[in-house]
Structures are given as C-alpha cells and as structure tokens.
Amino acid sequence: MKTLATYSIKGGVGKTATAVNLAYLAAAQQGARVLLWDLDPQAAASYYFRVKPKLKGGVRKLVAGKTDLGDQIKGTDFEGLDILPGDFSYRHLDLDLDGLGKPEKRLRSLLEPLAEQYDYVLFDCPPSISIVSESVFRAADALIVPVIPTPLSIRTLTQLRKHLKKSKVDVTLLPFYCMVDRRKSLHRELLEQPEQSKLKMLETSIPYSTWVERMGLERAPLAEFARATEAARSYRELWWEIWERVATTAS
Amino acid sequence: MMEPLHFLLDETRGWVEDPDSPADSEPTEDPIAKLAEALNPKLRIDLRAETEEQVVALDSFDWRLFQAGLELTAGDGRSRIQTTSRSPRKEAVDLTAETEQLPTFVNDLPSGKLREVITPVIGQRRLLPMASFRRRRLSMRFLDLRDKTVVRGYLESVSIEGQKKPLGRRLTLIPVRGYKRPFNDVRKAVVSALNPTVTEQSVSFLACTASGRPPGGYTTRLDLQLHGEMRADLGLRLVHGRLLDIIEENLYGARESLDTEFLHDLRVALRRSRTALSQVRGVYPQVTVDHFKGELRWLFRRIGPLRDLDVFLEALPEYRALVAPDSTRDLDPLQDFLEARRHAEQQTVRDLLSGRRTRQILGSWRHFLDSELPTSGGPPMARTPLGRVARIDIARLWKRVLHRGTRIDRATPDPALHELRVEIKKLRYLLEFFHSVLPPEVREFSKSLKRLQSTLGNFVDTVVQQRHVEQFATEMAMDGSASPQTLLAMGQLIPQFEARRIEERGHFEERFADLSTSENRDRMDKILADIQPR
C-alpha cells in the first residue's frame, strides 16, 4: 500500500481538486483500490463525492482508537474508490493528536490495518503546518504539492523543503504547477526561468480551468463530466507521472 | 463486509425447467420498473451502460477449475478467470488476458498472471467449451435523495446457443461500503416486488447446467453409498456400473485424443473393473467373470502402448534436465521418434475404440450389469450381505500384502516389489469401492497404504522407463533415426534412472514398516471384525 498526501501550507491552491481527481484516476484508470482520507474540517472532498461529512463519535475517538476506522469508511459512486469522510471535529485534530502518545506517528499506525484492503491511501490535508501535517509527513510515502506559479508560492515550497530536511522526514516531495494561467505574464515568466530545474517540479502542470471550478456544481471528478478538456487530460498525465515516481519508492 | 446478492428472475423458468419446451410465459412487466416503484421515493434507479457479449465457459473435462474454485470464460477477444462464490482460495482472483482465439491448452494463453493461476490447476488437460451463451448486461445505480450511489447492480439476460427460449434473467446487487441500510432496503424491495429466487451460482455455472453439463458433474470418484446389508451382487453391479459410466464418458476424448487424461481415466476404470471382477469372489457366475475378465483385459492391453508413450513424452522435459546441458538438444530425435510412434498408435486406438469389438464388449457388459438379479440359486456369495463379502476379500488381500511385504529385504529381486505393488493396488481399490460399508478407520489406513503404493510406484516407474529407453535406443539405432550423439544422450539417462531406482528401493523398508505397525494392524482388525477369512 502506498500512502500519498496532497499538501500545501497555503489554501486555495487546488489540493482538494487534485486529491479527488487523482484518487478517481487511480481507481478508474488503473483499477487500484483507493481510500481518500478527508482530513479537512471543511470536508470539501466529501462534498464532491456526495458523502455526508460525519464521523460517528467524532475524530477524537477515531484517532484514540475508540471507534473503528474501517466502520467509518464509505464507498463513493465509483468502483474501487472509498472515502473516510471529513467532519467538523477535524478542526481540533491537532489537540486530539497532542493528547495522545507519539502524535506524529498516530496516522501511520491507524493506517496499518488497511494495508491489505487498499493499494493507495490519499490524504487530503487542510492548509496548515501543525501536528496534523507532521503526522501526515511521517505517514506518507509522497507529498503531492500543488504550487501556483507565483513567487510567494514558490517561496513556500522552498520553506517546506527546508523544513522536511531539517526534521529528517523521509518522504518524497512531488510538487507540480497548478492553476497555471498562460495569459498571465507572471506565470509565463516564472515557468520560463532557468532556475526552474532546481525546484524539481513534476513535468505535468494543471491549467487554470473553469471546469475544475464546476466540480463543485457537478459534484464529481473532472473525468466524469469533462473528460475531453485540457484540465482532465492534464490530471490524467499527472496521475501517471506520480504513479511512475511512487512505484519505484519503497512503502 | 457485505457480499453481493444474486437473484434469478424466473418469469421464463428457463433456469430450472426444460429449456426446449415452448415458452409458457414471456415477461410482461419490466422488473426494473416494478423495482423502481417499490423503492420510490426513498431511492431511485439510474440506468447506466448496456453491454452484450458472446461468452464461452471453459474448463477441463473433469472440472479442475471449478473444483479449485475458479471460473474461466472467453469471448470478444479476451479470457477472464475469476474466483467463484464458494471458492476455497484465500485470495479472490479476477484477471483478464487478450486472446484472439479460444484457448485450447494453457500454452495458448499469453504469458502473465492469468496463465500462472490456471497452469498448476489445469496441467495437461484440454480446455473444453462447456457452455456457449449470449449475455446482455444492464448496469444500474441506486441513488438516495442526495443522488448518492448507495447500491450498485446489474441485470443480466442470458441465452444459451442453440436453445429457443432465453435462459432467464439474473439480478445482482452490489453493496457500497458504509451503506448497509440502503442495501437492505433494496434487497427487501427486490424480494417483495419481483418474487425472485436467491442464487449463489454464477451465470457461467447456470449456463453450463442448462447446457446439460453441470459443473463438477464428472468425477472418477465412485461416490457410491452402498449398504452393508444389501446383496453383494447388487453392490458389485453398482460399482461396476459406475466404472462403466466412467469408461463410456472417456471414450470420445480418448478416441479423438483431446488430451492424454481421457485415455488414462479410461485405463484406470478398466483396471478397477478387472480388479473388482477378480477379487470380489463368488458373487458373479464364474463363467461371467472369466468372460469379462478376458474381454476387459483385451481392451486394456490394446491401449497400453499409447499410454506408455504419453507418459514418456510428458516426462521428457524432465529427462532433458537429467542429461548434460550440451546434450539436451541431442534428445530431439527421440522426441520426434516418440511423437511419430504416438501418432501411429493414436490411429490404432482410435480405430479400436470406435470398432465393433469394443462396442460389443461394453454393450454386453452393460447388458449384464443391468440384467435381473437371480432370485434363487446362483453363485455362493451373491446374496450374502455386501459388508461381509467386502471384509472377506479385503482380509485376504491384506494378508497377502503383509505376507509378501515381510518377505522383501535388500536382496529380494525387483519383480517381488512390482508384485507387491499390484496387490496393494487391488487392496486399495477394494477399500475405495466399499468404503461406505466399512468403519471410518479405513480412511487412516488407506493413507498409509497410499504412501507405500506411491514409493513402489516410483520404483517401478524407474525400472519401466529404463527399459523403455533401452528399447527405444535399440529401435532408433536399427532404423537409423538416432545419431551417435543421440544414443549417447539417451545413455546418460540410464545411470540417472538407476540412481532413482536405488533411492526408491531404499525407502521401501521404512514405508512398509509404517504400514505394518501394530496400530494399522489393529485398525484393520477393527475394520474386518467378525469374519473368518477364506
């Protein structure tokens, strides 16, 4: 089982859309068994999949092992893809984890019983740097980091890299450009800078697209209602690029 | 976790009744509409894709895939292997592979996981088309008030090739994780609105059954439930009748050489029939016994040479590994020689099995077995209770096995081991024929017997194969089909077989000791209680 996470310190960069689309593609394109874990109290991923954002007993009991994680999982509309729904109680997950022993390792240990059931677990993380994110870093094999091509976003990526190095966290970083708008000269200039290679971005980038925004209206992954669009094609390519990178790393 | 549910919608009754009878009713109401009405307003049905495909269900003649909990189907350019609902396998399997043509043997399948799964199960057996059917599948989703999919499903309509009426329709409900209550709601609605029959069987299984080939229908096991108090002649006729069924079922496959196992099963059934004739004594008229012993022996011997060639050819890849690496290709002429010989022998067997004499033998044997039992007079043990007769004859054979076995030591010539093997086979056959009239201890005893038989079998095989190699070498040298290199390569096999012979012979003492323990003797005493051996 491989564990992935869409992560960014900044909000509104396309984490949830990426998590939803990649999880769907892994199941539909590859026939993998996938669990999407919606860690966000806003429960946007749950909303996209029409799943009630509710955990019986709340997240505190879940992470303390007092409720069974397996019992909380819901199937989506798509074969092979399940979701552990978001819940408003995730807003104090930091505190809940802090109250337990070894909080940074908590999420990883909760995933262990699922190893035989799923090929991929994908975390959709809230935007923050906190105990929750530290726990995700240690649970994940790879962090998928959407980056909008602006100087501040790139700076945030650099900060993340430094933090992971300093914390000696062994996780593969897979940043990619998201919401790329080639009409904007700033985006074009940044993408054409020679220093790009140092950032080690994935080759695939996701264009800014109203189709991605429509996901909230359609409440479905892009490939279900806008398969032929450039954004949908880009996500397909992104998934294959990530799959190739992840397939060669140990779990 | 919840499992899918399957229902047969039997408005055409094709699933269970005679499919060739005229349709007594056509479906008048759309089951989906009825179900939708029953679910309204809580849930609604969203119809999805409809697909249609021609499917062939494949398995070996003896249903090896079915017995292993697997199902192989082919159609539309691909083959698919899946685990069945009652599979003993620990992990579920669902694999496909591209196959332009219908696969006949495992080597026709492309390399990959599907072939890896099937090969150890099927071995050398041919994949036969057990049923050919057309399947139309309509996928659907059951949606709640938020348009969330809470249950998945599909409706299949199946028609068997060559049959007038469609077989029927099968509805499958697939649970979505975490939505147990809606799944139960849909299940209840199906039951109340459609009055279906629940089934665990796949469409493939049902199609095979409807085609007259119920999965698992062929077996070489006798599976007879005899009674100790029944007349011995009746019991023996039931045994012989079942063995004759096996002979007849394998005739076509052996004649057409569909695969080598048909001939093997045919021979084993003939051998067992002869054993039952010669070892269960005083039950049939002696003149009948002598006549049919002769007839069955004639048939058995005529098909022997082909079986020997099959066995050698199957073992040839293993023999190639026994010679020096740079000599393996020197055995190619041996393979060509054997295959040509086999081809000729196969023609002989084909003519034999489709010939008048074989038909006469089997016809007259069947006639005897189906004839009226004598009401008075007759052979001395005919009306003795079967349980007693079985014990008498088993006791005689057991005594013989012990007597022969204890006289074998390291200096005893090899033929004595072959003779002991023959006696053990006879004893095992009788234990199998009459297991239902014997106490349960017979099972444990049979296991020790089987182990010794296996050792002796390996031993005898090495002697036989050694002789064959020498014989083939002589013949090939005479007809010029063997180069000096080929003869040298064949010569390399002899010391290998000799080494094996010695090794197997070395196991004999231990295996016989395992069989003749006081524990086993006590077991046999218990099995044979209350009879005096003749």
Contacts of B177 in chain A (CB under 8 A): 73-75, 82
Give the model confidence (pLDDT) of B102-145 as tens digits.
Answer: 999 999 999 999 999 999 999 999 999 999 999 999 999 999 99
| Cβ of residue B350 closer than 8 Å to a chain A Cβ | no
Give the model confidence (pLDDT) of A174-216 as tens digits.
Answer: 999 999 998 988 888 888 776 677 778 999 999 999 999 999 9
Give the model confidence (pLDDT) of B234-273 as tens digits.
Answer: 999 999 999 999 999 999 999 999 999 999 999 999 999 9
Residue B151, min C-alpha distance to chain A (Å): 9
Please enumerate residues of A whose Cβ is less than 8 A from a Cβ of B.
50-51, 72-77, 79, 82, 219
- How far, in Å, are A34, A244, B14 from residue B211 at the CA level? 40, 47, 11
Q: Please give the DSSP secondary-structure letter assigned to residue B482.
A: -
Does residue B74 have a pLDDT over 50?
yes
Contact A50, A219 (CB under 8 A): yes
Count of domains observed in chain A:
1
Lowest mean pLDDT among A4-8, B307-311, B403-407, B446-450: B446-450
Residue-level pLDDT at B16? 46
Does residue A249 have a pLDDT over 70?
no
Check CB contact under 8 Å for A75 and B141. no
- How far, in Å, are B73, B442, B511 from residue B406 at the CA level? 53, 22, 12
Q: The tokens of B249 are what? A: 């079922």
Segment B70-91 shows an average pLDDT of 86
Contacts of B175 in chain A (CB under 8 A): 75
Q: Which residue of A has its CA nearest to B151?
A: A77
Lowest mean pLDDT among B9-23, B183-197, B205-219, B472-486: B9-23
Does residue B518 have a pLDDT over 80?
yes
Does residue B445 have a pLDDT over 70?
yes
- % of chain A residues with pLDDT over 70: 98
| Cβ of residue B88 closer than 8 Å to a chain A Cβ | no
Query: CATH number, domain at A180?
Result: 3.40.50.300
Segment B201-206 shows an average pLDDT of 90
Contacts of A77 in chain B (CB under 8 A): 141, 148-149
Contacts of B147 in chain A (CB under 8 A): 50, 219
Check CB contact under 8 Å for B178 and A73. yes
Residue-level pLDDT at B339? 96
Check CB contact under 8 Å for A82 and B148. no
Does residue A90 have a pLDDT over 80?
yes
Does residue B532 have a pLDDT over 80?
no
Does residue A250 have a pLDDT over 80?
no
| Cβ of residue B90 closer than 8 Å to a chain A Cβ | no
Residue B56, min C-alpha distance to chain A (Å): 25
Rg (CA), chain A: 17
Cross-strand partners of B129: B58
Listed residue (B399, B440, B383, B428) closest to B236, CA to CA = B383
- % of chain A residues with pLDDT over 90: 65
Contact A124, A40 (CB under 8 A): yes
Lowest mean pLDDT among A98-102, A108-112, A237-241, B228-232: A98-102
Check CB contact under 8 Å for A75 and B146. no
Listed residue (B218, B199, B201, B69) closest to B130, CA to CA = B218
Cross-strand partners of A153: none
Lowest mean pLDDT among A11-15, B1-5, B214-218, B383-387: B1-5
Does residue B297 have a pLDDT over 60?
yes
Give the model confidence (pLDDT) of B28-59 as tens digits.
Answer: 478 999 999 999 999 999 999 999 999 999 99
Residue B197, min C-alpha distance to chain A (Å): 27
Residue-level pLDDT at B10? 67
Which residue range is the domain that position A197 belongs to? 2-247
Residue B175, min C-alpha distance to chain A (Å): 9
Q: Tell me what the pLDDT averaged over chain B comes to.
A: 91
Check CB contact under 8 Å for B149 and A77. yes
**Confidence band (pLDDT; 50, 70, 90) for B88?**
confident
Q: Which residue of A has its CA nearest to B175?
A: A75
| Half-sphere exposure of residue B193: CA atoms within 13 angstroms, side-chain side | 19
What is the CB neighbour count within 10 angstroms for residue B160? 21
Segment A107-131 shows an average pLDDT of 91
Counting every residue, how long is chain B?
Answer: 534
Alpha helices in chain A (DSSP H): 15-30, 44-48, 58-63, 69-72, 93-98, 106-111, 131-139, 151-166, 185-192, 196-199, 210-213, 215-218, 222-225, 230-247
What is the CA angle A121-A123-A126, rounded to 5?
175
Segment B308-313 shows an average pLDDT of 95
| Cβ of residue B179 closer than 8 Å to a chain A Cβ | yes
Residue B451, min C-alpha distance to chain A (Å): 39
Contacts of residue B227, Cβ cutoff 8 Å, sequence gap at least 6 = B235, B386, B387, B436, B437
Residue-level pLDDT at A248? 72
Contacts of residue B514, Cβ cutoff 8 Å, sequence gap at least 6 = B448, B451, B452, B520
Does residue B24 have a pLDDT over 50?
no
Q: Three-class SS string for B248-298? A: HHHHHHHHCCCCHHHHHHHHHHHHHHHHHHHHCCCCCCHHHHHHHHHHHHH
Residue-level pLDDT at B19? 47
Check CB contact under 8 Å for A73 and B141. no
| Residue that the structure tokens 């999919």 belong to | B149
ipTM over 0.90: no
Contacts of A79 in chain B (CB under 8 A): 152
Contacts of B176 in chain A (CB under 8 A): 74-76
CA dist A48 and A63 (Å) reads 24
Residue-level pLDDT at B533? 41
Does residue A36 have a pLDDT over 70?
yes
Please give the model's pTM, rounded to 2 decimal places: 0.81
Residue B29, min C-alpha distance to chain A (Å): 29
